[in-house]
Amino acid sequence: MLAGRHIKKKRVLFPNKELVENPRIVKRQEVPPSDFTFVSETLEGEYYLVIPRVAREVYFLQMLQKNIDCFLPIEGDGLLIKKKFLNE
């Protein structure tokens, strides 16, 4: 009877993620000699819009490369990450 208490549930990253196709993003672009500007682009493919809620999710996002694997959406809250990173 007590054996069931020790079964761990699978922890899912970003349980409230939202699938977005071809999202628009904002990128920082360096302008020489020591300035910058922001540009917008449209990414092709499927991405998840996620909002980190726990430290484990924040740590996962820190491991991704900025503007390569993880992007800032042009509108809304959260971050966009490639779908392949969260395929379960």
3 — pLDDT class (breaks 50, 70, 90): low
Q: Would you put residue 76 in left (φ > 0), alpha (ψ -120 to 50) or beta?
A: left
∠ CA 86-87-88 to the nearest 5 degrees? 105
At residue 25 the predicted structure's pLDDT band, cuts being 50, 70 and 90, is very high
The residues, any chain, with a CB within 8 Å of residue 64's CB and separated by 6 or more, are 70, 81, 85
Overall pTM surpassing 0.85 (yes/no) = no
Taking only Cα atoms into account, the Rg of the chain, rounded to an integer number of angstroms, comes to 17
Contact 44, 21 (CB under 8 A): no
Q: What is the pLDDT of residue 80?
A: 96
Residue ranges of the domains in the chain? 12-85
pLDDT at 86 over 70: yes
Average pLDDT over residues 11-21: 91
pLDDT in tens, 43-80: 999 999 999 999 999 999 999 999 899 999 999 899 99
